[in-house]
Amino acid sequence: MSLVVVGSVAFDSIETPLASREKVLGGSAVFFSCAASYFTPVYLSGVVGDDFPQHHVDFLKRRDIDTAGLQFVSGGKTFFWRGRYRPNMNDRDTLDLRLNVMADFDPVLPESYRRCKYLFLANGSTKMQLRVRGQCPGVTLAVADTMDHWIRDEPEQLRELLRKVDGLVLNDSEAKLLSGEENLVKAGHAVRAMGPRFVVIKKGEHGAMFFSDFETYVLPAYPTPQVVDPTGAGDSFAGGMMGYLAQQGNVQPKTLKEALAYGILVASFTVEDFSLDRLKRLTREEIDQRMVEYKRMLSF
Amino acid sequence: MSLVVVGSVAFDSIETPLASREKVLGGSAVFFSCAASYFTPVYLSGVVGDDFPQHHVDFLKRRDIDTAGLQFVSGGKTFFWRGRYRPNMNDRDTLDLRLNVMADFDPVLPESYRRCKYLFLANGSTKMQLRVRGQCPGVTLAVADTMDHWIRDEPEQLRELLRKVDGLVLNDSEAKLLSGEENLVKAGHAVRAMGPRFVVIKKGEHGAMFFSDFETYVLPAYPTPQVVDPTGAGDSFAGGMMGYLAQQGNVQPKTLKEALAYGILVASFTVEDFSLDRLKRLTREEIDQRMVEYKRMLSF
């Protein structure tokens, strides 16, 4: 089944201890779409300025990503982020952030998008996420991401959103912030009690945790020695997870766990190069081969 | 097969955000022995002062831990550590540290100990670890722990030790320090290249990683919501791991992975109460029941 994602499309300038890249393709909706496209057709909603080059659009289309929902703002500039990773490659500092056209992004989904059954509200203003959620009353599964900024600045809207989505994906520090719990197991259950049927806590290089009424589990990250650029890992994780769920067309516990594993594996490829470079040359066969290794790693 | 451990026996005074305890039983050799005793007979070598109460010795004996190698220094005081955990329960500050009788600890293993086939050199001076290693030329498996202090202060001795042990267990920050690598996968292989056949990196609440010539894998921690006191988790991990290996009497890849999992599970019990309190009431049945849950968690 097809999958809609609403989120950012961006230019990223990235510095790591070993190398740097200027104004490469990024954004939550882009990483998500590309990751999900290995499993299912994806409908992307986002906004760019007229500085956004056609070859990036062509790349998305080649990956079977529908860009009918990608708005072009004439005279506007695309969202821009500049960040620098610390030596541990987990912590990073934002050196510059320009919302540009993203500041006034008010997505109006095309009709074809509104009939989709799987919806992912990638990181963005909670108010905007709520408006999009309202445009898709008939979805089978709505999952949202959020971040510290919205947890602090839009707490009431976030509470409302949590009652209107089936799942929430957030990282470990965000889960602690939102729940007030330092223990991640307690934090996950506390967030789940706010509304969603399931909560996924992303732990970066340490994998991901899943919480539902019936289950609590952790899956480790795939141990890749090749970490070049962690940007987009979290969005790729969500894309792999949601893409697999949409492909399977169900959210049974078994499918959810497989989806979590696929999310982890797609993210493990994303970090192996800058921007979308690794995903651009990734094949579904490579994902499935890594899945075999991953399952073997967890068997004893 | 039986197992020898040489390490510290201590009094710990512990503060956590929720509670504190004064002068409770602790020390690397104690946590290790107690954890390993669920699997195999353990021979403990350590040193205490005459302030060490008989009921602690009785407890060790009840767990089938041989204390013939526990030296009592008349007029001496037992090793003492006071620490405070930060709200995340991972980071801690040492508020006081008194080596006391540990400062001059020069273990001379009883004859019965020297015939053991499995040896664990718990955290302590590398020079001391080397001397003990020399006393057990016929062991099947010698594994050592180390820490930042010895990595910085006794680098040459540590290099020598790494050529004389089969395995090394250390935590993530220590692996980075020893190898100079920030990526844990690279760090693990770099440490292994220094001599030991296998390296285990402990990641606390995130589980453990294993590195050998043939295999690299990660197993997550068991997600317990009940983290009361993390003291001794790493030593309990090592005890569960080595205890299981000694019980099985082999170090085949399959056994090593099972051993890693047992180490993770015993540690997950240790943190559920202060000091040895949870281990004191732990049964082998509880460990095996948690193993069933753990394997289910990792299956999909």
How far is Cα B12 from Cα B22, in angstroms, rounded to an integer?
7
**3 state DSSP class of B2:** coil
**Does the pLDDT at position A109 exceed 90?**
yes
Residue A84 contacts B, CB cutoff 8 Å:
no
Question: pLDDT digit string (tens) for A246-286?
Answer: 999 999 999 999 999 999 999 999 999 999 999 999 999 99
Nearest-Cα residue of chain A relative to residue B188:
A225
Give the pLDDT score at B160.
98
Q: Do B216 and A223 touch (CB under 8 A)?
A: yes
The residue ranking higher by pLDDT, B88 or B185, is: B185
Nearest to B185 among A183, A203, A223 (CB): A223
pLDDT > 90: percent of chain B: 97
Task: Please give the average per-residue pLDDT across B140-159, as a whole number.
Answer: 97
Question: pLDDT digit string (tens) for A124-166?
Answer: 899 999 999 999 999 999 999 999 999 999 999 999 999 999 9
Residue B291 contacts A, CB cutoff 8 Å:
no
**Does the pLDDT at position B90 exceed 90?**
no
| Cα dihedral across residues A155, A160, A165, A167: positive or negative | positive
Helix (H) or strand (E) holding A114: helix A111-114
Residues in chain A closer than 8 A to B203 (CB atoms): 206
Question: pLDDT digit string (tens) for B218-254?
Answer: 999 999 999 999 999 999 999 999 999 999 999 999 9
Nearest-Cα residue of chain A relative to residue B17:
A182
**Does the pLDDT at position A90 exceed 90?**
no
Residue B254 contacts A, CB cutoff 8 Å:
yes
**Does the pLDDT at position B136 exceed 90?**
yes
Residue B214 contacts A, CB cutoff 8 Å:
no
Question: In sequence order, which residues have a C-beta less than 8 Å from that of residue A282 and are 6 or more positions away?
Answer: A38, A266, A269
How far is Cα A192 from Cα A178, in angstroms, rounded to an integer?
11
Residue A300 contacts B, CB cutoff 8 Å:
yes
Q: pLDDT confidence of B1, banded at 50, 70, 90?
A: confident
**Does the pLDDT at position A299 exceed 90?**
yes
How far is Cα B184 from Cα B204, in angstroms, rounded to an integer?
14
**Does the pLDDT at position B286 exceed 90?**
yes
How far is Cα A249 from Cα B299, in angstroms, rounded to an integer?
21
**Does the pLDDT at position B104 exceed 90?**
yes
Residue the block writes with tokens 């220590």: B174
Q: Which two tokens stand for residue A127?
A: 């108010």
Question: pLDDT digit string (tens) for A194-249?
Answer: 999 999 999 999 999 999 998 999 999 999 999 999 999 999 999 999 999 999 99
Average pLDDT, chain B: 97
Distances (CA, A) of A203 to A166, A177, B171: 21, 14, 18
Q: In what order do the strands lie in the sheet with A118-121?
A: A65-73, A42-49, A3-6, A118-121, A141-145, A167-171, A198-202, A208-211, A216-219
Average pLDDT, chain A: 97
Give the pLDDT score at A94.
96
Nearest to B217 among A205, A254, A297 (CB): A297
**Does the pLDDT at position B123 exceed 90?**
no
Give the pLDDT score at B46.
98
Task: Please give the average per-residue pLDDT across A21-41, as a whole number.
Answer: 98
Residues in chain A closer than 8 A to B201 (CB atoms): none
Per DSSP, which regions of B105-182 are E strands? Answer: 118-121, 141-145, 167-171
Q: Do B297 and A221 touch (CB under 8 A)?
A: no
- Residue type at B299 in one-letter notation: S
Task: Please give the average per-residue pLDDT across A35-57, as a whole number.
Answer: 98
Residue A256 contacts B, CB cutoff 8 Å:
no
Helix B172-179, helix B184-192: angle, nearest 10 = 60
Task: Please give the average per-residue pLDDT across B191-200, as a whole number.
Answer: 98
Give the pLDDT score at B279.
97
Distances (CA, A) of A152 to A41, A81, A95, A203, A233: 34, 21, 21, 20, 23
Residue A184 contacts B, CB cutoff 8 Å:
yes
